[in-house]
Structures are given as C-alpha cells and as structure tokens.
Amino acid sequence: MVSGFEHLSEREKQVLANLVNYYIASADPVGSRVIANRFNMGLSSATIRNTLQDLEELGLVEQPHTSAGRIPTDSGYRVYVDFLLKPEKLSAAEEQKIRSGILKEGRGINEILGQTAKILGDISKQLGVTIAPKFEEGQLRNVRLIPVADGRIMVIVIVNSGLARSVILEIEATFDDGALAEVEQALNERLAGLTLADIRDTISARMSNVTGHGRLLNLVIDSKDRIWREDRSDDLFVAGTDKLLTMPEFASRERLSNLMKLLEDGRVLSEFLSQAHEEGLFITIGRENTISEIVNCSVVSSTYKIGNITGTIGVIGPTRMPYSKLVSVVEYTARSITEVLSGLDYKRDT
C-alpha cells in the first residue's frame, strides 16, 4: 500500500483516476488539456496542470519527456488499484463464455487448465496463465505399488481431493505381489492423512522400524523427492502471447524475447505466482514483481481450490492494463474453475 494516500485531496484523487483511465485506453501521455476536455470535472486546464504537478511531486505520475504529458508511475497505479478502482461488471455473455469454455476441450485437469488459460487470454487481451494445484499440499488418501514390467513399479499417490499422480521407479530386483502389498500396507498405515510435504520430510523416521522387504522399502524412501514432490515447471499453462505483439510496451524485441524465455522455462514464473499469496485476488505492479523479465508488467492473479489444495490463475500484461475489467475476469474465472474442479471426479494427468 502506498503511504500518503490519505493526504490526497478529492481533486487529486479524481485527476489521478482520470489520467490512469485515459492512459490505459490510449497509451499516450496525458496532458491537462486532455483531462479538461475529456472529463467533466468543472476545472480549468490550468488548475488540472497544477494538480498534475502536485501528483508528480508525490511520485504518482511522471513525464516521459519534458514536452510530453504525464503517465502513471508504479506507485500511481498502486494507488489507483488499491483506492480508486471500480471493478467492471462482466456481461452475461462473458460469464457464459468463461464457464462453458472451461470444459470445452475435456474433463482432464491439464485440459481444463490449458483451456482456462486460453479463455483468460481471449477475454483479457493479455497473457492468460494457469498453474496446476500444489499437489504436495494434499493429504494422502492412499498409495499403491503396481508392477508394470520387469525391473519397474508404478507408485500411484492419491490425495483426499481425488487428485492423483503416478511415478515409475526402476528396481534392481524382482518383487512378488505379496511383497508389494505388504510394503504398500505399511506405507498407508504410517502415512495416510499426512500432507505430501510432511511425508517427504519425515518418511525416513516414520518407516524406520518397519521390518521386512528392506530393499523395496528403501527404494521408496530414497525416491521421496520423486514421489512426494513434483516438478513445477510442467504445471504452467500460458495462452495469448500473440496479444503482446500488438502492444507498444513490447515493441522492443529484447523485452519480448526475455519474456518468451521466461515462459518457456516455466519453473521460475510458476514458483513466483504460486508463492505470491495464500488465497484470493492479488495484484503486483511493475517493480513489485521480483522477476526481472516482468518488472514492466502487472500481474492480476487469484487462487482456486480443490479441497485443501490450491492452484493459481491470472493474467500478465503491461502495467497499462485495464485493471477494472481484469479483476472481475480473474475473480469470476477463479470461482468458476473452483466449482468445476470440485465437482469433478478426475485424476491428474501424468
């Protein structure tokens, strides 16, 4: 939150809001005459010019060139978002597009998340992003050990929300079905009800006094990072990169290239968005983003839930984005995907 907002006059708040709204729509620096002509404020151009100078001294607007009008700073956008923003109500058609589109391509979790990213990109005209649920937050319901071929077993992990994933382990020896069943039973007796993160951190101690089938049990314990922790780089779904090509903020090939490299890797952005907040709507603006590739961007994101597991959806674009529309789009989509995923009996694509 930007300090000093409480000291802004009503005139300063109104001028700042009008400047931000006009700049978002036009991408052109805004002068006092434009505000006087476009908005019915009952103020002269000279009065507005003096107000803009006051806002500049407060660090809320700046002049990109001495002869140009002014544009919002990151702090100006923050004041606008925190105090002046009026969310735009979505139309019935937009709400229907979001809800029907989520299930358009199928009912698998990855299909739903990929389609949701596409919907976010289409409606927002920004970059749509979805991140799969944090699997390791889930509480273990059941673990299964299934032989799939000589020297290989499949470990299936199911959490209470119904989410499931599988991992193939290579084994040096052959174990009969009885051995697999006994180790499976021991794992479930000791670990069921714990979060996967807790299991990963404590499985060695919890299984230390289990007797029999030591080689198989040790294999499961030694593979704890593969079984109970997932690679977040594969959990990011992005759509709408074509929208960025039309924006003046991405006219620089270097800036666009750096962003594309960030999206290709996935891990860094996935971790940033997943750790940004616990739940609900969250907006980061410009230099508030700790990733260098998006310090000229804003991120509007929200969590969705499946049981006690959370994932993240959002949009990424230049700081000059239509916040009033996007907060409504992201919040409605997050509620919709929570309802859709919570009502489905599905397994995580593996």
Reference 160, options 134, 195, 203, 206; nearest CA is: 195
pLDDT of residue 350: 44
Distance CA 81, CA 17 (A): 10
Nearest to 326, CA basis, from 313, 308, 309, 344: 313
- CB of 297 within 8 A of CB of 318? yes
Q: What is the pLDDT of residue 2?
A: 58
Rounded to 5 degrees, what angle do the CA atoms 310, 133, 85 make? 55
3-state secondary structure of 31: coil
Looking at residue 346, its pLDDT comes to 47
The pLDDT value given to residue 345: 47
Instruction: Give the pLDDT of residue 336.
Output: 93
- Predicted pLDDT of residue 347: 46
Q: What is the pLDDT along the chain (350 residues), one digit of tens a residue?
A: 555 677 899 999 999 999 999 999 999 999 999 999 999 899 999 999 999 999 999 999 999 887 779 999 999 999 999 999 999 999 999 999 999 888 776 677 888 899 999 999 999 999 999 998 888 888 999 999 998 877 789 999 998 877 888 889 988 777 788 889 999 999 999 999 999 999 999 999 999 888 877 888 888 899 988 888 766 556 889 999 888 888 888 888 888 888 888 888 888 888 888 876 567 899 999 999 999 999 999 999 999 988 778 899 999 999 999 999 999 999 999 999 998 887 764 444 44
Full set of structural domains in the chain with CATH: 5-84 (1.10.10.10), 92-132+235-342 (3.30.450.40), 136-228 (3.30.390.60)
Angle among Cα 275, 277, 282 to the nearest 5 degrees reads 125
DSSP state of 22: H
Is 333 in contact with 303 (CB distance < 8 Å)? no
